[in-house]
Amino acid sequence: MRFDAALAAQDTLRGAEAELGADWEEAVELEGTFSSNAGGTAREAYEALLALADRHPDAHRFQAFCIYITWQQVTEETIAHHFQTGLTRAEAYLATPEGKDPQHLADVAELRDSFRAGLGLDEEDDIVVEFRKDTPKGGD
């Protein structure tokens, strides 16, 4: 990637205060827990941050923040569920680009591609590769 998702998350969260209103302090506390822990404690904070994002679907900066931290969660716990969560959130974010920061859109698009690759969605399996080799090209 051309950027550091952890640094992008920190920068993006700072700008999300107005979007979250009364939930701002909870978001900051959860992010602190997520960033300073590992394992189950970090996962619980991560899941709580995603739940908070679900309560604020129009909080564009906070949505981008959650996509960035999903990449962090993928690197901490590399399981398909996190790749799928990231892909789903990234695609939803990119579906409506109006009013969103162009840098966030570019970063999220790059992360979407990484989530897809992590799920193997951009790779052909061996059977498809062999089929392409064995299929006659052009003509009759």
- The residue range of the domain holding 39 is 5-134
Per-residue pLDDT of the chain (140 residues; tens, 9 = 90+): 788 999 999 999 999 999 999 999 999 999 999 999 999 999 999 999 999 999 999 999 999 999 999 999 999 999 999 999 999 999 999 999 999 999 999 999 999 999 999 999 875 555 555 655 655 555 54
Domain count, the chain: 1
Tokens of 102: 């162009």
Query: Is 140 within the bounds of a domain?
Result: no
Query: Is 139 within the bounds of a domain?
Result: no
Query: Is 70 within the bounds of a domain?
Result: yes
CB contact at 8 A, 65 and 9? yes
Rounded to two decimals, the pTM is: 0.86
How many beta carbons lie within 10 A of that of residue 10, not counting itself? Answer: 15
